[in-house]
Structure 1
Amino acid sequence: MRKRHLLSAKRAAALNKGKWADGAGLWLCKYEKDRGKWVFRFTTFGKRREMGLGAYPDVSLADARRKADAARDIAINGKDPIKERENATRETIRNLHLLRDIAVDAFEARKAQLKNDGEAGRWFSPLELHVLSRLGNSPVSEINQIDIRDTLAPIWHTKADTAKKALNRLSICMKHAAALGLNVDIQATEKARALLGKQRHDIAHIPAMPWAEVPSFYKSLSDNTVTHLALRLLILTGSRSAPVRFARVEQFEDGVWTIPADRMKGIKGKTSDFRIPLSSESLRVLEDAKRHARNGDLFPSVRKGVISDATMSRHMERTGLHYRPHGFRSSFRDWIAETTDTPHDVAETAMGHVVGGNVERAYRRTDFLEQRRKLLERWAQFLTQ
């Protein structure tokens, strides 16, 4: 049996320039006293070979022995440890750029453009659920249009909007990979779109209550519960559900509700807060809601945090209505169009919509607060007539 462990760490450090055996094929080759390399000598297919195991003293004696043992096991099994290491290195390099890693990196790069830095997960979730679940562990350089088509085909027609979002997000990831210098086919998503064909689906709009029926429903919200009050404020202000659900007591001051920019759905990179003037009825709802406030949240849930997105919807379902809370925005907008002569810009601003192009918005400094106050007062009077 070949002798092993002939060296010690102390003796290795004391050795001068030369080649020194540790046994069983492991050698320390020193260029000078304090510098050298570890080498493993072996024979494969009748040919003598040397395999570098790392620089000395960066690689310790113990680490060199472990590497030599692993290489020796490979050689005993009739394989070349040098070639096996090269293959493993190539595989590692190839797998360094998995689609999942690229997707996470692309998401991080785009966070600043997303609402709340993408915390809600709406940007990433279509990609994660419908693409990464199947292609996430694939090297991005190997993904082609066939892979993408086969991945999205099951939902291309049945979940058309989600599938389209997933494909668009994937396109961003492929372009991100190309920007990193990786060899990817950035046209793969468009080729896959062509293979998938035109989507076959009907767009389902959110059911909206006709504006003439809203006063009757509003009057039914008479229990002063958190859900009833939240629905009343949502209807009175024409707001989306998220700003209402996450409303804070300190956002209401001097007859104005100031919604933080990151709670507003709209133009990318929106940085300005949105002000909503409160009608007399809204102020009464606000005072009733403050009695339920907890830790500053105006509409707290039973356990912790605020009421969920489904809380108001479930209430409407329980009353036998197929309409949804978000539909009251359409009710409000239709009422404005059919019963008032409100200027277009004022009406759209009341909806929290972005009006005009970049240049026009840069020169227009008003948010029509007082004109909207009168409009919302008329709406409240209509609701409580």
Structure 2
Amino acid sequence: MRATNRLSAKAAAALGPGKYADGAGLWLVKEETARGKWVLRVTVHGRRREMGLGAFPAVPLAEARKHADAARAKVRAGLDPIKERQREKREAARNLHLLKDIALDAFESRKAELKGDGKAGRWFSPLERHILPKLGKVPVADIDQADIRDCLLPIWHSKAETARKAINRLSLCLKHAAALGLEVDLQATEKARALLGKPRHKSGNIPALPWQDVPAFYDSLNDGTVTHLALRLLILTGVRSLPLRFLHESQIDGDVWTIPAEAMKGRRDATADFRVPLVPESLAVIEAAQAHARDGFLFPSVRKGVISDATMARLMERREMEARPHGFRSSLRDWLAEATDAPHEVAETMLGHVVGGSVERAYRRTDFLEQRRALLARWAQYVTGQSGQLVRMAY
């Protein structure tokens, strides 16, 4: 009888339950006539090993022989074919875990803890703009400090704050990959920082318009467009750009605008909605904005969604102004400090800042709504050129 190739395809299909040798260690083990499995017996480093080569008849005889020949070649090379197959599977699995997929998965996992479930895209954008174009298609297990350094070097000094956010997000992605059981270098980002050195550029405060110059700028926002109206309400209320841009008619009840907690920076508690008193000038701006409303949103963009922060910023850039929209919060805060005697806790609450420790906040239940209303009314009078008198608070 032949030492190898003892079986034929026709005979293998007809054989009943049992073990049948094809030769040179290849066996067909049948549980019943219709199905079975291929097993290769080899000796590696003096130890007998059995290696499965697939199910029969899904793997036909000819294919089983090819697999067996490849495994025997590994044995002749001094390798364990079973361990080599496991290694190859790990390599294949690793190559499926590209950084772009890990980054998206990490983003999805963190959406619940981000403002508005991350719909504004600020968490993901540093990765999307500065990391993924170069490293997105690289297996996460292959990313090292040199890759990260080369990726961020162009912006490390010129856009230090953006680079810092990008490398921090990347570090979270690597930790996410490790939590998934992938082999990654968790120290790669710290090593990259060492290679990049300390950023020369220091981020500063967002430029603000001096409060003395706000009335003239407010007066120039007079064409009734969405951008002009949004900037006017931003100035009048002192809120951040995000909740203003996503202002919905349902959030307004009479002369109070309630901003949902998830839209307030630093207010993750579901009960920490923030009330903004709406003075007559603010209500007039809102009434004008309702003519532009789409799906209930008062400040829609031209195509879809709401206007972006960049839209308002570009208006100021075109006028060659250094100040930016967010800076109007500083303008208001400086006016409160220099032109009123508003208590610190009232002035800080006007900007939505958390004031005092947890115990103090637990006992202080007020949000100073009426005190803030009086201050915002005088602020509105000031920015519209009606008054610049000192405001004294009544207690």
Q: TM-score scaled by structure 2?
A: 0.79
The CA deviation at 1:88 is 1.7
SS in 1 for 2:123: coil
Q: 1:62 is matched with which residue: 50, 53, 58?
A: 58
Aligned to 1:17: 18
Q: Distance between the aligned counterparts of 1:295 and 1:142, measured in 2?
A: 46
1:86–1:252 distance in 2 versus 1, CA, 3 Å: closer
Aligned to 1:244: 244
1:227–1:120 distance in 2 versus 1, CA, 3 Å: closer
State the Cα deviation string for residues 239-291 of structure 1 (Å, max 9, x = none). Answer: 22222222111211120011122222234566522110011111122222222
Count residues in correspondence. Answer: 373
Mean Cα deviation higher: 208-217 or 179-188:
179-188
Q: Unpaired runs of 5+ in structure 2?
A: 43-48, 387-395
Structure 1 position 365 matched with structure 2 position 365: yes
SS in 1 for 2:325: coil
The CA deviation at 1:94 is 4.7
Q: Distance between the aligned counterparts of 2:62 and 2:313, measured in 1?
A: 63
Q: Distance between the aligned counterparts of 2:361 and 2:69, measured in 1?
A: 72
Preserved CA contact (<8 Å) 1:236 1:282: yes
Preserved CA contact (<8 Å) 1:262 1:271: no
Q: Distance between the aligned counterparts of 2:107 and 2:241, measured in 1?
A: 26
Mean Cα deviation higher: 146-155 or 175-184:
175-184
Counterpart of 1:6, as a letter, is K
Preserved CA contact (<8 Å) 2:53 2:67: no
Preserved CA contact (<8 Å) 1:149 1:193: yes
Preserved CA contact (<8 Å) 2:134 2:151: yes
1:224–1:152 distance in 2 versus 1, CA, 3 Å: closer
Q: Distance between the aligned counterparts of 1:90 and 1:323, measured in 2?
A: 53
Q: Distance between the aligned counterparts of 2:56 and 2:260, measured in 1?
A: 58
Q: Distance between the aligned counterparts of 2:62 and 2:212, measured in 1?
A: 81
Counterpart of 1:242, as a letter, is L
1:312–1:196 distance in 2 versus 1, CA, 3 Å: closer
For residues 14-163 of structure 1, what are the structure 2 equivalents within 5 Å?
15-19=16-20, 27-30=27-30, 36-39=36-39, 51-54=51-54, 59-65=55-61, 67-68=63-64, 71=67, 74=70, 82=81, 85-92=85-92, 94-95=94-95, 99-136=99-136, 140=140, 143-163=143-163
Aligned to 1:331: 331
State the Cα deviation string for residues 355-385 of structure 1 (Å, max 9, x = none). Answer: 2233333332211111100110010111121
Aligned to 1:211: 211
The CA deviation at 1:218 is 1.4
1:178–1:8 distance in 2 versus 1, CA, 3 Å: closer
Mean Cα deviation higher: 266-275 or 27-36:
27-36
Aligned to 2:170: 170
State the Cα deviation string for residues 95-138 of structure 1 (Å, max 9, x = none). Answer: 46655554444433332221122233322332344344444555
The CA deviation at 1:219 is 1.8
Preserved CA contact (<8 Å) 1:40 1:68: no
Q: Unpaired runs of 5+ in structure 1?
A: 43-48
Preserved CA contact (<8 Å) 2:206 2:327: yes
The CA deviation at 1:184 is 4.9
Q: Distance between the aligned counterparts of 1:254 and 1:274, measured in 2?
A: 15
Q: CA RMSD in A?
A: 3.7
Mean Cα deviation higher: 23-32 or 313-322:
23-32
Q: Distance between the aligned counterparts of 1:37 and 1:282, measured in 2?
A: 78
Q: Distance between the aligned counterparts of 1:308 and 1:168, measured in 2?
A: 24
